[in-house]
């Protein structure tokens, strides 16, 4: 399983913020919806009709994948040591 540094933007009402995490992903790294479903655990995410983001059907949040970058195996221990 490849490991990726993922940055997701979340729009929560009128507020927008970013979240950064390490995500293990076997699928296609260009599958934005699949990555966001794995990140949120929300299988109801669907592409918004009015923007290029993904809307949750279970709450009022809107998600988009800001950045994804593969992490080399030797870099993982350092990132985990510092809280990622």
- The answer to whether 74 and 12 have CB atoms below 8 angstroms apart is no
Cα of 16 vs its chain's centroid, Å = 14
| Model confidence, pTM | 0.86
8 Å CB contact between 79 and 20: no
Distance CA 9, CA 16 (A): 7
- pLDDT at site 68: 95
Phi, psi values for residue 41, rounded to 5°: 75, 10
Residue 50 has pLDDT above 90, yes or no: no
H/E run at residue 66: strand 61-71
pLDDT confidence tier of residue 60, bands split at 50, 70 and 90: confident
């Amino acid at each position: 399983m490849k490991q990726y540094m993922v940055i997701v933007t979340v729009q929560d009402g009128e507020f927008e913020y970013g979240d950064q995490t390490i995500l293990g992903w076997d699928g296609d790294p260009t599958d934005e919806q699949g990555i966001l479903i794995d990140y949120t655990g929300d299988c109801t995410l669907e592409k918004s009709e009015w923007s290029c983001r993904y809307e949750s059907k279970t709450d009022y949040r809107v998600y988009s994948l800001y950045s994804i970058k593969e992490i080399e195996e030797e870099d993982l221990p350092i990132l985990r040591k510092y809280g990622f």
